[in-house]
Each structure stands twice: as C-alpha cells, then as structure tokens.
Amino acid sequence: MSFQTPLSIEEMLTTVHKHEYLMPAIQREFVWNADQITKLVDSLMRGYPVGSFLLWKVEPETAQSYTFYEFLTNYHERDKPYADKATLPSGSGTTAVLDGQQRLTAMNIALYGSFAEKKKYAWWNSADAFPVKRLYLNLVDAPEDEELGIKYDLRFLTDQDAAPGEGEVHKWFRVGAVLDLADSGPGIMGELEQRGCLGSADAFRRLYDLYQAVRELKPMNYFLVTDQDPDKVLEIFVRVNSGGTTLSYSDLLMSMATNQWKELDAREEVRSLVSEINNNAGRQFSFSKDVVLKTALTITAVDMKFKVTNFTQTNMAKVEAAWPEIKGALLRAATLLQQFGYSERNLTAHSVITPIAYYLHLRGAGDSYLDSTADAADRLALQRWVTRSLIKRGVWGSGLDTLLTRIRDVLSANTTGVFPVAAVEEAMAAVGKSLTFDNSEIDELLNLKYAGRRTFSVLSVLYPGLDLSKLFHEDHIFPKSRFTKKKLTEAGIPLDEIDDYLAAVNLLPNLQLLAGTANIEKQDSLPEDWIGIAFPSQDKRATYLSENDLDGVPLGMNEFTAFFEQRKQRIRTRLIAALGATPDVPGEETPA
C-alpha cells in the first residue's frame, strides 16, 4: 500500500466519469442525506481536510472474479436509490474504491447530479412526492442559522426554486456549473455580471472559494492497495470500515455475503427483495436489508446475531441454497401484513415480519394460504398475535435477538399445524415480553391520539370485523375541522366547555376506521347527518352503530362531551375483553 499524489475534486470526479474508478460489491449502498452532502461541500470550500481515500488497483485476472458498481449520480429515493452494476470489458482491470465511496458519491451528486427524496407527509406513489433537486450556492446571503457552524448557504433546490423572481438578483448558483467557468478571474467576474451581483465582494469571494475548492486545491489524498489476494483485501476493507463504526453490521455482513455466494448475486438479490416487499400488493412498506438478513438467518437455523462469525462460507451457502424459500416466505409475510391493514405508516416494528415468514416457511405455506377458507382461523390467530405485540410497549425493542430465537425455538418444535399462540406468548413472557395487559395499560391506550404509532393497531383490535386488506383511514367521528374556538362558539358550545372539546377531539374515543371512499364522502359532516346518508336502511344503520360502539350514543355537536365519555367506557370494556386485562371489580372506582 502506497501514498499517491493528491488530486483535485475535479480530477478525481473526471476519473469517476471515465469509469476508471468503480465500487467493489463489498461496498454498501449510498446512505448519506442532503445535509451531509452540503456539509461536506461547505468543509471543502473552507479548506478543511475531508479524510483520505483507499483505492485498490485490481488487475485484469483478479477483476473477472468480482462484481463492480458505477458511482451514483442522480439519486432518487424511490426510483433510483442504488448504483448500477458496472460492465467491465473482458481483459480489463479497474481501480476500486475501498474507503471513501460515500464522500466520493456525495461530491459526484453535488457537482454532476441531483438528489430526490420524499417530501414530508407525501404519499410514496404520488407523482410530485420526489422533487428533483440540485445543489446550489447562495452568492449573496450568509446562512440564516450560524449556530450550525456552516459558513456557506448551500441548499438542494429545484431549478424552479433557484430561479430569480422578477427584478431580483440571480443569487443561486448551481454548484456543478463551477466546472464551466473559464477561470477564477474574468470567468467569475463575467458570471457575476450576468447575475446582477458584480458589485458584491461577498459574492465574488463565495464563488471564488467554490472554484478553488473544486478545481485548484488538491484535498484528495489517497492510498493505493496493489495486493491481489482477495482475503487480504477484504481484511483491509473490514478494518478500515469498521474502525469508526461508520458501517452497520448488516452493511459489512452483506458485503461478506456478496463475495461468498457462488451462483447468485447476493447484493442484487437482497436489494431486489427489499424493493419487492416494500411495494407489496399496493401498500408501501419500509423494510431494510437488516430485516431480510435476519429472516434469512432465522429460516436457515443459523445464529441470527449480526456477528462476523455467523457469516461464514458454510452459513452463507445455506442462505444461498434456501434463498427461493426465504424470498417466498418474506413476500407472503408482507402480503399478510398488508391484509392485516398495515403499511409503512402504521407498522411500528419491522421485526415482526421475521417470525411470520419463519412460520410460513415451516408449514410450507404457498400463496393459497393467503386467502383459503381452510386457513382463515389460522390467519386470524396470527393477526391477533401480531396486533397485540404491536400494541404492547417494548416488545420489539431491546433484546430482539433473544426474543426472536425463543420464538423460533417454539415454532420449530410446533407439530400442531397451526400458529401456536399460547406457546409463543409463554416463551415471550419468559424473556420479559409478556403480551398481557393490566388495567392501567388499558387506560393509557384510551388516550392514544389520531395518527399515533399504535392507534391503528388498537382500532383494528376494537373492530375486528373489518376487511383491512382494503384501504381504511383513521377517521374522526366528530370531524376535526369543526373544532376551532370560533366554530365551537358559533355552534353554541358554552365557553367553559370549549377547552374540553379541543382536548378530546383527537383522542381514541372520537376515532374509528372508515373505508377510504366513505371517509372522503364524509368530509366534515356531523355523525348524526352523515350516518343517515351513508346507511339509508335501518338494518345497515343499526349494524354500523352497534359495531362501532355508537348505538344510543348522542351524536349532536352540543352533546360531544356526553358522546365522548359514553364511547370511552364502551371502548374500555371492549379492550379489556380483547386484550385479556382484568375486568374491574364491582364496587371499585373505574378510572376516568
């Protein structure tokens, strides 16, 4: 390993775009966010050191045994989060980046590419949920918040957002355009003149600092490994990337698995499966590689702890051999979760998919299990167990490997042919993960709020007759839009009751699960008005009221407090029955 002559950012990225620098398959995916990219460029413009790089000169005879990837240029969180596989001509070698690919990819995106991440609260499949942004430098203004330690105002903006308004100075300079400037003197002056900010000394200094950082300074120090022994190179990679704990165990272990599979490309298979289960049956999930790897270890009866010693060639051979079964089990498990009404918005513990997939694998369940009448009771038992485990605090948190191992042991010993709920829950209780609820926990659930982490699960337990495979929304029975001080006053609500109305509107007793179309049609109608329209026949209206604990409950706006208290007590009784808590003892005071 030898130290090489430093390069400028422009020189190094030019080499990247000539495809002379590639990423070995043992590298993880790009994981930096927009803030990390802007901070890196800010550091470079200030002349700060950004660390050295480690490169591996791969000779042609060695290169043919490995898989390499291009550097990501246009990152799109949904459509293009991963780098493309490189095509290496026969008889050609390459230079592989062993350490520094996150920084190098970040600079490539900043100068040559774009960054598209999901807008907060936007739907994953919405056409405008992922605006394409490029990195811009504010030539005129300093950052608004100097406490963050940032000297330059660098932001990812859409080209439209960066364009000046009528009569405004064109202050946003696309960072990549610095590569088009003829020089650092007249070239910069001409650019500033076109933008209407030639007289600003700050504008010149900022653009000059960017030019210097990218094109003249040589901050890219790197070491070159020439050894062709793959085991030695892998050892160097692991030592470099694990020393600062910048890589997760799953990243490192995925890297090791990639080189140990013989027939399949582990990286492509895992990434493809993650994409499939996250876009399953019309519902979006957000499972990670960690979950896939943990499930693979579970199904192949390997110690599921993320330790290097568990990722031996022998164990990885087991995973590769069982991959079709692992893939099928995970896809069916994701489909079941979708049928249970879950998606990325309300599935609060991703690890719950692992025992589901393992159970489906053990019983050899095919696609018919998902909708067969013969398995309906088993699916219901599994659904109730999943939901209870998501409602109970702390189940899928600490001690996860121990919990999953205990559940795996119970499932593997099961000979009943059905999901052994009692045995599983007994094993869970033995490691401090009991699914029993006391009355104080029930009362705590009554205070869950609209769109809370556990609210959907509780509502699905309360009203189990719904077909949750269809889209259901958490809905306010009394519409939230009517709960402002002005509207409540206009509705004749006494002033001393308004605060009570506002405090209660988002709580569980005012919530229900309502089919998506019905929820849209309902809008801001009061329940007494909407129910009569939505359920014109007496029988359907009576069924709806009964199933949702609304039968005989007052439904007028001025009776909201009475409605809330009555429905709260009904829900409490139903939760005690559904979750197995102890009913209140006659004569004892029921908590409010």
The answer to whether residue 473 is domain-embedded is yes
Question: What is the pLDDT confidence band of residue 522, given thresholds at 50, 70 and 90?
Answer: confident
Q: Are residues 78 and 225 in the same domain?
A: yes
Apex 538 CA angle, 535 and 542, nearest 5: 80
> Which stretch of DSSP H or E encloses residue 570?
helix 560-579
Q: Are 298 and 276 in contact (CB under 8 A)?
A: no
- Do 229 and 271 fall into the same domain? no
pLDDT number for residue 148: 63
Give 62's contacts (C-beta < 8 A, 6+ positions apart). 93, 228, 230
Per the domain annotation, does 226 fall within a domain?
yes
Q: Is residue 238 domain-shared with residue 252, that is, in the same domain?
A: no
Q: Are residues 184 and 42 in the same domain?
A: yes
Per-residue confidence (pLDDT) for residue 245, from 0 to 100:
41
Q: In terms of pLDDT, which residue wins out, 496 or 266? A: 496
Antiparallel, parallel or unpaired: β 68-69 and 134-138: unpaired
Asked if 279 and 177 sit in the same domain, the reply is: no
Indicate whether 74 and 195 sit together in one domain.
yes
Q: What is the pTM of this model?
A: 0.68
**DSSP, residue by residue, 72-116:** P-EEETTTB-SPPBP-PPTT--EEEEEE-HHHHHHHHHHHH-EEE
Give the pLDDT score at 250. 63
Among the listed residues 441, 52, 402, the one whose alpha carbon sits nearest the alpha carbon of residue 220: 52
- The answer to whether residues 241 and 371 belong to one domain is no
* pLDDT tens, residue by residue, 531-568: 888 888 999 889 889 888 998 888 889 999 999 999 99
Rounded to the nearest 5 degrees, what angle is found at the Cα of 341, between the Cα atoms of 339 and 343? 105
Report the pLDDT value the prediction gives residue 375, as an integer from 0 to 100: 96
Query: What's the rounded Cα separation, in Å, for the pair 287 and 337?
Result: 12
Mean pLDDT value of segment 276-295 = 87
Q: Which domain holds residue 255?
A: 248-390
Condensed to tens digits (0 to 9), the pLDDT of residues 291-316 reads 999 999 999 999 988 876 777 778 88
Considering its fold, how many domains does the chain have in total? 3
Look-up of token digits 């329209």: 533
448: confidence class by pLDDT, cuts 50, 70, 90:
very high
Q: How large is the average pLDDT for residues 111-131?
A: 92
Q: What angle (nearest 5°) sits at the alpha carbon of residue 347, between those of residues 256 and 338?
A: 95
**Does residue 414 lie within any of the structural domains?**
no
Residue 436's pLDDT band, with cuts at 50, 70 and 90, is very high
Q: What is the pLDDT of residue 587?
A: 47
pLDDT of residue 473: 85
Q: Between 584 and 405, name the one with better pLDDT.
A: 405
Q: Are residues 238 and 262 in the same domain?
A: no
Q: Are residues 495 and 364 in the same domain?
A: no
Q: Is 168 exposed, middle or buried (0-12, 13-18, 19+ CB in 10 A)?
A: exposed
Given a contact cutoff of 8 angstroms between Cβ atoms, the answer to whether 304 and 347 are in contact is no
Residue 590 within any structural domain of the chain: no
Q: What is the pLDDT of residue 310?
A: 78
Is-contact 304 404, C-beta < 8 A?
yes
Lowest mean pLDDT among 49-53, 156-160, 346-350, 501-505: 49-53
In this structure, the answer to whether residues 386 and 501 fall within a common structural domain is no
Task: Identify the pLDDT of residue 124.
Answer: 86
**CA 121 to CA 417: how far, in whole Å?**
42
Question: Rounded to whole angstroms, how far apart are CA atoms 396 and 349?
Answer: 6
Residue 242 has pLDDT above 60, yes or no: no
Is 86 inside any structural domain?
Answer: yes
Token pair in block for residue 372: 């067969």
259 pLDDT more than 80:
no
Q: Which residues lie closer than 8 Å to 138 by C-beta, 6 or more apart?
A: 152, 153, 154, 155, 171, 172, 173, 206
Same domain, residue pair 97 and 228? yes
Same domain, 174 and 259: no
For the chain, the average pLDDT equals: 89
∠ CA 60-63-69, rounded to 5°: 130
Q: Say how many CA atoms lie within 13 Å of 267 toward its Cβ.
A: 21
